[in-house]
Chains A and B, each alone.
Chain A
Amino acid sequence: MTLEELLLQKRDAIKARWLQAVLESYPPDSRRFFKKQKDQFANPVGHAFSTELENLLQEIIEPSDPERLRASLDRIVRIRAVQEFAPSQGLSFLFLLKPIVREVVTDAGRDEDLQREMEALSTRIDGAVLAALDVYMTCREKLYILRADQMKNQVSALLRRAGLISEVPSWDAASEEGSENHPLNST
């Protein structure tokens, strides 16, 4: 049996353990809620974890499309990026998969091929961590962009409307080459 076959066979159990391990990163009250409430609108975080960890697991076992991997990571990391975690804690959920898989492999016996495949899988998880880091940074940068935009929008609208700043006029007609209205042709 290949590692892929083994993991696909045990997929549900692995996913359940992984989800549990991820939820362990929350305090008991939150963990209980994220796990118990099944309504996806009453519990969007728990629902996203449950759905997307499954998709992630599938992509890690049988990689099909990097975009699908990225989309699943995005759903989870976008949440973790605004929760009470240090960046390392926020992304640690991917590493939690390794010991779970390793245990499954160990239980299946000391097959050398399995061990070798395990290393390849481990590398894929590392790859997913790097992809997750990209997503994490995009999310955090977005937060700062939003902050900056908020300040900019507030002030610029007021200044413009109060007539305190003079902006370069638009020159729609001047976009045609050679137009004398175009600033580059004005000299």
Chain B
Amino acid sequence: MADLPKPEELVQIDHSPSLHKGLLGWMDTPVRIREGIALYAGKPQSLEYVGMPNPREWNPLDEDWKLPENWKEIILDGLRERLDRFRSLKVFMDICVRCGACADKCHFFIGGGDPKNMPVLRAELLRSVYRKEYTTAGKIMGKIAGARELTYDVLKEWWYYFFQCTECRRCSLFCPYGIDTAEVTIIGRELLNLIGLNVDWVAAPVANCYRTGNHLGIQPHAYKDMIDFFCEDLEEVTGIRPNPSMNRKGAEILFITPSGDVFADPGTYTAMGYIILFHYLESLGLDITWSTYASEGGNFGFFTSHEMAKRLNAKMYAEAERLGVKWILGGECGHMWRVIHQYMDTFNGPADHLEVPVSPITGTRFENAASTKMVHITEFTADLIKNNKLKLDKSRNDNLVVTYHDSCNPARGMGLLEEPRYVIKNVCNHFYEMPENTIREQTFCCGSGAGLNAGEDMELRMRGGMPRANAVRHVHEKHGVNMLACVCAIDRAALPPLMEYWVPEVDVTGVHEMVGNALILDGEQKRTTDLRGEPLPGMEEEEDV
């Protein structure tokens, strides 16, 4: 009873806006770090394992973040160094005219209404300190020139809001100057990491990936066990047991996919789709191997620092060289492809030990991958279909009414727009696009990228994913869409809860799960279930018997 409020306390309920009270400007609105939005702090052992600074137990909800005494000096030195190193950062700090074109393009702002999620304002968090330290106007005029001191509160605000950005780059699409706010976030996080401000959902995968090769710390034997487990399941569904090879030297192609495909539903069904496809292509001349060392396509180092991204990415080329393959095929993943497409060659190339990828089945030379030597699996499969190399029974996916979510990084980061659609349209009969301003380059983020797909920030994720879910609901209501397809492992982990909250009638699939369902294998038994073990269309009664 002691906890019950008294009547006079009850009448003091505050109905005024909780963000930006009264006439205070954004600079004077203190940050309030909230449970449900904030992520857990990185654990000391994760930081220690990869030699990151200031490993310690700390809690973002506490007052004291246990920072080194000279934290401000470290951050400002770090910023100065990066301004020298990255011309783009210097330009992004100087040229924004605050036109507002990006302001209403961020899914967190659109869904949540917190003004500090407007990309311009999120960047201003860093820019204001930059002005104070490095511009004459800022030094002299201070706040009038949009400048402010880097204080402990400002630092907390950085941490809170740079971990409310999924680095999806939708805002940059609309910036007339081409400012990439994701890169501002990337630098912001890199600076924070200099004093040990991280989140567990990024720091733990980074340490695991560095140690065992993948985010979950799945060891080689367990990785192989899981692939074997999929093969058992596939035998039940198709009557044929594929025999994928692991760590095989001398194979022509190395296959690398996010580990989410190997352990987390519904990504596991996508992995089964890959296995079926590779089995099918074996007799046509596909010579491919999986790797238990390069067992992670994703790269959470990219959400930590450029250096960490480089370190974790290095295993791809290293493993390709060790196995002596000619080129690399990559699975369905999001940020993995931004790293591969825009960074890998600079980080760890040139991969002179590899050749420009050529499909052994169709002879197609993937000129777009001439530099990285790495092909996206939907490009590979689309080429197979285009060349009539796959026998497909689309009707096996007739229970699905599909729409396609362009995953941010493949869409905006590498222009992968047509291939997934081409594959989907060839493996299922019912496909409907979401509204134009929510797909392709303008796609809305799942709300959970860049290390935000933890559990503790579920409220943030639901709010950020709201614009995406809203478009899904539209096609669900209009066309009866019941399946949301995507080519990203984080999407496959993040979209199911998002759908469950906003549009529970819609499930989530990878594109190659549907390929696996439609693909007709030589000598297969009559299929009665899909890869999930659910009855195929028209087979429901047979299942019941």
Contact A88–B113 (Cβ < 8 Å): no
A25, A85, A92, A149: the one within 8 Å of B497 (CB)? A149
Contacts of A83 in B (CB 8 A): 112-113, 463
Contact B115–A30 (Cβ < 8 Å): yes
A150–B456 Cα distance when bound, in Å, is 10
Contacts of B268 in A (CB 8 A): 157
A26, A84, A89, A150: the one within 8 Å of B455 (CB)? A150
Contact B115–A41 (Cβ < 8 Å): no
Contact A143–B458 (Cβ < 8 Å): yes
Contacts of A34 in B (CB 8 A): 113
A160–B113 Cα distance when bound, in Å, is 42
* A interface residues, tally (CB under 8 Å): 43
Counting CB contacts under 8 A, is B474 at the interface? yes
Contact B459–A157 (Cβ < 8 Å): no
Contact with B along A85-98 (1 / 0, CB 8 A): 11011001000000
Q: Tell whether A154 pairs with B497 under 8 Å between CB atoms, given A27-B17, A84-B19.
A: no
Contact A44–B110 (Cβ < 8 Å): yes
B386 to chain A, nearest CB (A): 32
Contacts of B222 in A (CB 8 A): 161-162
* B interface residues, tally (CB under 8 Å): 48
Contact A42–B437 (Cβ < 8 Å): yes
Contact B501–A89 (Cβ < 8 Å): no
Contact A161–B226 (Cβ < 8 Å): yes
Please report which residues of chain A, range 155-180, place their CB below 8 angstroms from some CB of chain B when the two chains form the complex: 157-158, 161-163
Counting CB contacts under 8 A, is B462 at the interface? yes
Contact B226–A28 (Cβ < 8 Å): no
Q: Tell whether A25 pairs with B470 under 8 Å between CB atoms, given A82-B459, A143-B459, A154-B264.
A: no
A155 to chain B, nearest CB (A): 10
Contact B435–A41 (Cβ < 8 Å): yes
Counting CB contacts under 8 A, is B488 at the interface? no
Contacts of A30 in B (CB 8 A): 19, 109, 113-115
Counting CB contacts under 8 A, is B502 at the interface? yes
Closest residue of chain B to A163, judged by CB? Answer: B225
A159 to chain B, nearest CB (A): 11
Contact A147–B104 (Cβ < 8 Å): no
Contact B112–A150 (Cβ < 8 Å): no
Contacts of B118 in A (CB 8 A): 29
Q: Tell whether A43 pairs with B104 under 8 Å between CB atoms, given A24-B17, A161-B226.
A: yes
Counting CB contacts under 8 A, is A39 at the interface? yes
Contact A41–B18 (Cβ < 8 Å): no
Contact A143–B18 (Cβ < 8 Å): no
A40 to chain B, nearest CB (A): 8
Contact B263–A150 (Cβ < 8 Å): no
Q: Tell whether A33 pairs with B437 under 8 Å between CB atoms, given A146-B501, A151-B455.
A: no
A144–B462 Cα distance when bound, in Å, is 12
Contacts of A149 in B (CB 8 A): 497
Closest residue of chain B to A29, judged by CB? Answer: B115
B452 to chain A, nearest CB (A): 13
B16, B265, B455: the one within 8 Å of A147 (CB)? B455
Q: Tell whether A41 pairs with B103 under 8 Å between CB atoms, given A26-B17, A143-B501, A147-B455.
A: no
Contacts of A39 in B (CB 8 A): 437
Contact B466–A150 (Cβ < 8 Å): no
Contact with A along B79-109 (1 / 0, CB 8 A): 0000000000000000000000001100001
> In the complex, which of the residues B17, B456, B474 has the most CB atoms of chain A within 10 Å of its own CB atom?
B17
Contacts of B14 in A (CB 8 A): 86, 89
12 contacts between A and B (CB under 8 A): A28-B20, A30-B19, A43-B104, A44-B110, A79-B111, A83-B112, A83-B463, A85-B18, A89-B13, A143-B462, A146-B501, A150-B497
Q: Name 17 extra pairs, CB < 8 A, besides A41-B471, A42-B110, A45-B466.
A: A27-B113, A40-B474, A41-B474, A44-B111, A78-B501, A79-B466, A82-B463, A82-B466, A84-B114, A86-B18, A88-B13, A142-B500, A143-B36, A146-B458, A146-B500, A157-B263, A158-B263
Residues of chain B at the chain A interface (Cβ within 8 Å) = 13-20, 34, 36, 103-104, 109-115, 118, 216, 218, 222, 225-226, 229, 263-265, 268, 435, 437-438, 455-456, 458-459, 462-463, 466-467, 470-471, 474, 497, 500-502
